[in-house]
Amino acid sequence: VPYFDGDNGGFRHLRFNGPDATDTGGGLVDAGGTKMDPVHGSTVVTYAFEPGSACTGQDERIFGISEDRGSAFGQLQVRGVTGDHTLSVMWNGVGTVYRYALSGGCNLTSASVVHWVIDTSEPTDSDRIRAYIGGVRQTVTVQTGAWPSPGATIDLGAVGTRKMYVGRPYSGIATLKGRIWYVALYLGEMSDSCAWPAPTTATPSR
């Protein structure tokens, strides 16, 4: 199971200690009727997190909100998918999850501050889904589905079924091996001109 660890500079973080891509557990809480509700129906969201390890190249869950497992359910999550680092989104009225990936696969080679930014008001398709590693914008491609249409809104499913999680959300679903320094979800947009700090596992500013 994951646990809070105080080594690696003495700063507490969540550590997943099992083999790569195994059912090693995770934190799961009800998200319906909470501050997460405005994410449903939103057109602008920023995911921010700092994993303390490189990609494993396996199918793994990192951080998200969903109403159930599977591509037919409302969700917004960051995950690894066999060599890719991806953002999975259910758009209202679509009925299936669309997935966006870093071009060239997962290039996280060490602890990194990662941001995924959604803003469906942007006029250019590729600007509606953006990713940054250490403040540097990455090339994002459509892995399944399509770019969101202008004004598309996020679908998290029914209020009473929404769960927020770090690591494995459901039994039998893999989680990452390594550390997570922090995760956050903002109802706002990060601009290209915004300078985000580079991470440091020795003295994380979290």
- The C-alpha atoms of residue 76 and residue 15 are separated, in whole angstroms, by 22
| pLDDT tops 80 at residue 60 | no
Residue 183 pLDDT: 80
Proportion of the chain above pLDDT 90, given as a percent: 23
Instruction: Dig out the tokens for 101 from the structure.
Output: 């990936």
User: Model confidence over 102-142: pLDDT tens digits?
Assistant: 876 666 666 678 888 999 999 999 999 999 888 888 899 99
pLDDT given at position 7: 55
- Lowest-pLDDT choice from 79-93, 112-126, 165-179: 165-179
Q: Helix %, strand %, coil % for the chain, to 5?
A: 5, 40, 55
| Reported pTM | 0.79
15 Cβ contact partners less than 8 Å away, ≥ 6 residues apart: 2, 3, 4, 5, 178, 179, 180
User: With 50 as the cut, is the pLDDT of residue 198 above it?
Assistant: no
